[in-house]
Copies of this chain bind each other. A is one copy, B any other.
Amino acid sequence: MPRAQTAAPPATTRPTGSKPPRPKTDRRSEILAAAQRCFVRSGFHGASMHDICNEAGMSPGNLYRYFPSKEALIAGIAERDRAEVAQEFASADLSRGFFAVLEGMAYHHFSERPDEQVKLCTEIMSEARRHPEIARISAAFDADVRKWLIDLLRAGADRGDIARDLDFDAVTTMLMVIADGVWWRRALEPNFDAKALLPIFMDITRHMLGSRTANRVRAKEGAG
């Protein structure tokens, strides 16, 4: 059972601090990019460390100076993607109206995000079932997304774009479920046209968030 530390870069000591000593871009990023290509091509278990070394143009001994294990590579990729998504949510601009923002994000998720990332995501999820460290990262990722989504919904409610008495938790869960499902299908069906689903997605979302129906908070049953 291999260890799961994320391993700091191999001493980025810049003591005298004169000129930048890195002619190429950050070595760690290069390695992660190479690993990503290999994982997408052959899967986490199908890709050997030698494959990844070749792809990165680097010897095994050297690669291990940057990442302590194969698992740390997947963990590194997951963490990097998490930062990227954080960026996307942080840049949401509600002044265009709630549904415009949501549709933009949906379009991005359904269509713009490259297939590479979608496939990689399934690899990460599969490994999350086995490696606690990866499970931790992906659970944290998930909690982040949920929080951002709920904040977005609350802000939309404040603006009056959507109903105020929603069961925000349930609605958020449903949105995430749909998003997950879309990615699962994208990963599995090479020619799946997710963006064709956008109209219907926006339609049911408007319904969920706006009309007076089952997804509202209700008084708890069983009370006197």
By a beta-carbon cutoff of 8 Å, the part of chain A in contact with chain B is 42-43, 45-46, 119, 122-123, 125-126, 128-130, 138, 142, 167, 170-171, 173-174, 176-182, 184-185, 187-189, 196-197, 199-204, 207-208, 211, 213-215
* Residue ID in chain B nearest A204 by CB atoms: B204
Instruction: Give me 26 A-to-B residue pairs in the complex whose CB atoms sit less than 8 angstroms apart, sorted by A's number.
Output: A45-B45, A46-B130, A119-B129, A125-B188, A126-B126, A167-B200, A170-B197, A173-B185, A173-B197, A176-B181, A177-B184, A177-B185, A178-B178, A179-B181, A180-B181, A180-B185, A181-B181, A181-B184, A200-B215, A202-B214, A203-B207, A203-B214, A204-B204, A207-B207, A207-B211, A207-B213
Residues A184 and B180 in contact, CB atoms below 8 Å apart: yes
Which B residues touch A211, using CB under 8 A? 207
Shortest distance between the CB of A27 and any CB in chain B (Å): 28
Which B residues touch A196, using CB under 8 A? 170, 173
CA–CA, A22 and B42, complex, Å: 42
* Residue ID in chain B nearest A207 by CB atoms: B207
Per a CB cutoff under 8 Å, which of B43, B179, B202, B204 touches A129?
B43
Shortest distance between the CB of A120 and any CB in chain B (Å): 11
* Residue ID in chain B nearest A119 by CB atoms: B129
Residues A200 and B214 in contact, CB atoms below 8 Å apart: yes
CA–CA, A46 and B119, complex, Å: 20
CA–CA, A174 and B199, complex, Å: 11
CA–CA, A200 and B173, complex, Å: 10
Residue picked from A122, A142, A200, most chain B C-beta under 10 Å? A200
